[in-house]
Each structure stands twice: as C-alpha cells, then as structure tokens.
C-alpha cells in the first residue's frame, strides 16, 4: 500500500515538473516565432520616418511614495522623452518624506486650480500643482491610499486618451512612448500594451537616461537578470499573440483610459493592482464579447533597479506572489468561462497551476523525495534522478530565454557578458530558484491569512545613477 502511494506520488511530482517545463517551452516556441517576425522588419523600422501628427497624446502617471531621493531625476528624464505630445502627472501619495518639497523646488510648482473630476473614487486630493518651468507637468498631492489609489487619481486628472503608469524609479528609453504607442496605432482594438522591463543595476545612467549597459557586480541582481529575461521574453511574449497575456508590469504599461475607467480603474487594497486590472479587463471584455487586444512590446524600453539584498528581494517576491493570488482569485470568473478564449482556457489555468500553486507543489515535491530518501524508501539514485530532472529543465528554460535575447536585442554586447550570464543560468538552479519557491510559499500563506496591502518597502542603492 505504502509502496503504491510512493509510486503514485513520484509520478505526480515528476509529471508536474515535466508538464510545467513543457508549458514554458511551448511559450518559448511561440515567443521565438513572434520575435523572429518582429526582428525581420526592424531594419526598415530604423530608417527616418515621417510623422503626420495623428499620434495619440499620452498621459504619463507617476505614483510616488517616499521617493525624495529619485523623483526629481526620474521626472527630468521623463520630460526628455521623445514623443509628439505627452503630459506627466506625478501623484504624491501622502509621502512621509520630502517628495512634494523636492518636486516644488525642482520644478517651480505653483498651486493649480484644476476642476478635478472624480470619475474613479480615490482618497481626498489635497492639492494640484503645475510646473512653471514645464507646461506638461502637474503634481497631485493626495492622502495616502496606495499605488492603485494614486493611479486612479492620476487617471481622473489625465487629459489624454492613453495613459502610461510608470514607477517613479523607472529609467525609460527616449523612444519608449513611440514604441509603446505603436500597437494602438496599428490596431484600434488594442486596450493595453505592456513593455519589457530590464534590470538597471550595473548599467551607467546619466541625466536619467541609460548610457551604457553592463552587468551588475553583485550576485543577486545578476540572478534576477536571467529571471527577467525568462519572465518577459517568453513569459509575456508567448502569451501576447494568443491575446492571453495576464500581466502588464506596473513599472511601465500603456492603457486606453476609457477602457480602464469602464472596467472600474485600479482596485485599491490589493498588492498586485497591475495584474489584477489586466485580468479584470480580460474577464469583462470576454464576457461582454467586445473585441479587444492586450499586447506586449518586447523592445527593452524600461529599466528598473533590482533588489540587492536578500531581505528586500524576499519582501518583493512575497508581495508578487500575493498579488498573483489576489488577481486570480478576484477574477475566477474568467477561469474556463465559455467565452474565456485563450485567456480563460489556457493562460488562467496555467498561471493558477504553475505560478500560483507551483511553489506548494514544488516544495512538496522536494520534501517528499528527501523524506523518502531519508527514511530509506527510495534509493539515492532515485533522488539524484529527481533532482537531475528538476534542475535540468530549470537550466533548459533559462538557457532558452538567453537564446531569445541573443536572437533579438543583444542588450549585453560583450563576450564576457554572455559567459557570465551562461554561468548564472547554471548557478541559479542550485539554491536560488528553490529559495524563491520558499518565499513564494510564504506569499501564499500570507495571502491565505489576509492582511492590508501596503506600498512595498524597496531598499534602493541607486549606485548606478550618476548625479545630474
């Protein structure tokens, strides 16, 4: 009886690991096709273009909470973006530090008597300011309500039909808005576009723009570079052609304002407000049988600082896991809904089984096999084979994301970059991925226990930034 139980358990865990990785490999294959198509037209895309003046203007919404150290340089760099017409709305979410004072001083803010229209309910707005130096910069000062609440306040004041939520610490490429707006021009059904996020640690940033790409010296950000490649180059790019992408990173995403307002705006009180909104849009549009597209722009257009210490990284991963579970649980109606399409029938179950519940099964698998080995119920050979499969597939996935990077953007140009990344691809499977699963498991436990969502405390070194 016990032997039978062990055998079934072994098969379950083995097939789960193989199923998970084959799912990712399938996504990888889809990404490979989409990226290859994209790269074919890049050469012509880079020739000088003529602009007719029909590009839609964009409102950049920058929620800021205790960002006194970086907010000025972030806004300065955003002001230099190359796009025909855009405005920047910084939303100070009741910061306890001098975020507002820094903005007042740096951009010569004066009170602006805006006829504020509350289309989405938010915490009270204390004041609206405009810059006397830059016509297209406004600042909203409001009571603390979280990132989602800040974005909703930003949407309320946004003047333009498209808005782009940007993290205050994001470094944008100068042409990022042009690239992100492209899908909206090409297809009127597009309601949201997500951008590819890369890690800025180790890079040289000056005047708010990326000057030189390099790899970080520290191991943790290096490990995250490979993770980001996996997450964006096939985690998102694979789902995009199926119109089943469930996540748009809060660090940089472009949305049709009316579509978001119609969906009820960002949900406050959640941690993963960015993902929750996207899953909700899928659910509502699918149910209403309205044509829509949510797309991914793979070009590396937004750079962000990754945590460099374990405590911050742990908090981030716990938060992400909670956000994922919240987003899925709040939109369970999409799961296998008869009108759910690829989002409801493929992406949602995939996320639920492999991303949301994955850490439980993965950890249980490891524990199960080690327990059996320690109690002498399986041989050391069997344990080694189990680890060989789990780690072997992990390495395969990471290497395949590196291949996508090599086929497309060549962000890391030097041979030593490639060698180091190959080394990291191997290393991350020995400990880092397992500890990540443990943190994500904690995230699941905390989600089950409930609790108030807060702005994540992110310790930033900012060592890669040069002063203006």
Q: Smallest gap, in angstroms, from Cβ of residue 32 to another protein?
A: 11
Q: Which is nearer to another protein, 161 or 462 (CB)?
A: 161
Q: Which is nearer to another protein, 54 or 448 (CB)?
A: 54
Q: Which is nearer to another protein, 242 or 385 (CB)?
A: 385
DSSP sequence for 44-97: HHTS-----S-PPPEEEEEEESS-TTTHHHHHHHHHT---SSEEEEEEEES-SS
Residues 6+ apart with CB under 8 A from 93: 63, 64, 65, 142, 144, 145, 146, 147, 149, 150, 455
Q: Smallest gap, in angstroms, from Cβ of residue 45 to another protein?
A: 8
Q: Smallest gap, in angstroms, from Cβ of residue 226 to another protein?
A: 13
Q: Smallest gap, in angstroms, from Cβ of residue 47 to another protein?
A: 6
Q: Smallest gap, in angstroms, from Cβ of residue 329 to another protein?
A: 33
Q: Smallest gap, in angstroms, from Cβ of residue 171 to another protein?
A: 25
Q: Which is nearer to another protein, 69 or 407 (CB)?
A: 407
Q: Which is nearer to another protein, 11 or 459 (CB)?
A: 11
Q: Smallest gap, in angstroms, from Cβ of residue 40 to another protein?
A: 4
Q: Smallest gap, in angstroms, from Cβ of residue 385 to another protein?
A: 5
Q: Are 134 and 110 in contact (CB under 8 A)?
A: no
Q: Smallest gap, in angstroms, from Cβ of residue 351 to another protein?
A: 23
Q: Are 200 and 210 in contact (CB under 8 A)?
A: yes
Q: Smallest gap, in angstroms, from Cβ of residue 389 to another protein?
A: 4
Q: Which is nearer to another protein, 117 or 289 (CB)?
A: 117
Task: State which H helix or E strand residue 137 sits in.
Answer: strand 137-142
CA dist., res. 259 & res. 191, Å (int) = 7
Task: State which H helix or E strand residue 256 sits in.
Answer: strand 252-256
Q: Which is nearer to another protein, 257 or 322 (CB)?
A: 257
Q: Which is nearer to another protein, 61 or 247 (CB)?
A: 61
Phi, psi of 84 (to 5 degrees): -60, -50
Which positions touch another protein (CB under 8 A)? 7, 10-11, 14, 18, 21, 39-44, 47-55, 112-115, 117, 130, 132, 135, 185-187, 381-382, 385-386, 388-389, 392-393, 395-396, 399-400, 402-403, 406-407, 410, 415, 418, 422
Task: Tell the burial category of 396 from Cβ atoms under 10 Å away from its Cβ (0-12, 13-18, 19+).
Answer: middle
Q: Which is nearer to another protein, 42 or 101 (CB)?
A: 42
DSSP sequence for 285-327: HHHTT---EEEEEEEEEEEEPPP-SHHHHHHHHHHHHHHHHHH
Q: Which is nearer to another protein, 84 or 312 (CB)?
A: 84
Q: Smallest gap, in angstroms, from Cβ of residue 395 to another protein?
A: 5
Name the DSSP letter for residue 124.
P
Task: Estimate to the nearest angstrom the gap between the alpha carbon of 216 and the chain centroid.
Answer: 20
CA dist., res. 194 & res. 240, Å (int) = 10
Q: Are 204 and 303 in contact (CB under 8 A)?
A: no
CA dist., res. 65 & res. 97, Å (int) = 8
3-state DSSP of 349-411: HHHHHHHHCHHHHHHHHHHHHHHHHHCCCCCHHHHHHHHHHHHHHHHHHHHHHHHHHHHCCCC
Q: Which is nearer to another protein, 44 or 448 (CB)?
A: 44
CA dist., res. 199 & res. 232, Å (int) = 12
CA dist., res. 317 & res. 358, Å (int) = 14
Task: State which H helix or E strand residue 254 sits in.
Answer: strand 252-256
CA dist., res. 9 & res. 432, Å (int) = 25
């Amino acid at each position: 009886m016990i032997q039978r139980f062990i055998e079934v358990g072994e098969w379950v865990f083995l097939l789960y690991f193989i199923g998970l990785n084959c799912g990712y490999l399938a996504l990888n294959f889809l990404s490979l096709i989409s990226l290859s198509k994209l790269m074919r037209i890049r050469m012509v895309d880079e020739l000088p273009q003529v602009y007719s003046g029909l590009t839609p203007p964009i409102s950049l919404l920058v929620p800021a909470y205790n960002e006194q150290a970086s907010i000025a340089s972030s806004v300065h760099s955003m002001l230099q973006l190359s796009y025909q017409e855009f405005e920047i709305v910084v939303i100070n979410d009741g910061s306890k530090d001098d975020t507002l004072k820094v903005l007042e001083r740096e951009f010569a803010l004066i009170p602006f008597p805006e006829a504020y229209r509350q289309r989405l309910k938010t915490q009270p707005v204390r004041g609206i300011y405009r810059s006397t130096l830059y016509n297209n910069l406004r600042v909203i000062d409001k009571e603390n309500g979280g990132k989602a609440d800040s974005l909703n306040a930003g949407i309320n004041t946004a003047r333009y039909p498209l808005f782009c939520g940007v993290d205050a610490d994001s470094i944008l490429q100068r042409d990022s808005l042009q690239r992100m707006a492209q899908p909206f021009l090409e297809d009127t059904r597009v309601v949201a576009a997500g951008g590819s996020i890369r890690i800025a640690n180790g890079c040289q940033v000056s005047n708010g723009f990326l000057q030189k790409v390099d790899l970080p010296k520290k191991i943790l950000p290096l490990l995250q570079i490979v993770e980001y490649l996996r997450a964006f180059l096939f985690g998102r790019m694979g789902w995009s052609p199926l119109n089943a992408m469930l996540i748009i990173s809060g660090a940089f995403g472009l949305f049709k304002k009316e579509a978001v307002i119609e969906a009820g705006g960002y949900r406050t009180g959640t941690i993963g407000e960015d993902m929750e909104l996207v899953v909700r849009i899928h659910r509502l549009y699918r149910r209403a049988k309205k044509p829509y597209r949510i797309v991914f722009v793979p070009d590396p257009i937004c750079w962000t600082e990754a945590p460099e210490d374990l405590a911050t990284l742990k908090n981030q991963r716990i938060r992400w896991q909670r956000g994922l579970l919240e987003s899925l649980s709040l939109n369970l109606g999409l799961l296998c809904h008869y009108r759910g399409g690829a989002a409801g029938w493929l992406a949602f179950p995939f996320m639920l089984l492999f991303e949301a519940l994955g850490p439980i099964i993965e950890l249980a698998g490891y524990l199960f096999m080690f327990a059996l080995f320690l109690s002498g119920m399986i041989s050391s050979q069997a344990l080694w084979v189990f680890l060989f499969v789990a780690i072997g597939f992990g390495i395969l996935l990471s290497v395949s994301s590196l291949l996508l990077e090599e086929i497309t953007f060549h962000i890391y140009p030097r041979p030593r970059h490639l060698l180091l990344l190959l080394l990291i691809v191997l290393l991350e499977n020995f400990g880092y991925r397992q500890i990540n699963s443990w943190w994500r498991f904690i995230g699941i436990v905390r989600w089950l226990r409930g609790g108030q969502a807060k702005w994540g405390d992110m310790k930033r070194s900012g060592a890669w930034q040069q002063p203006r």
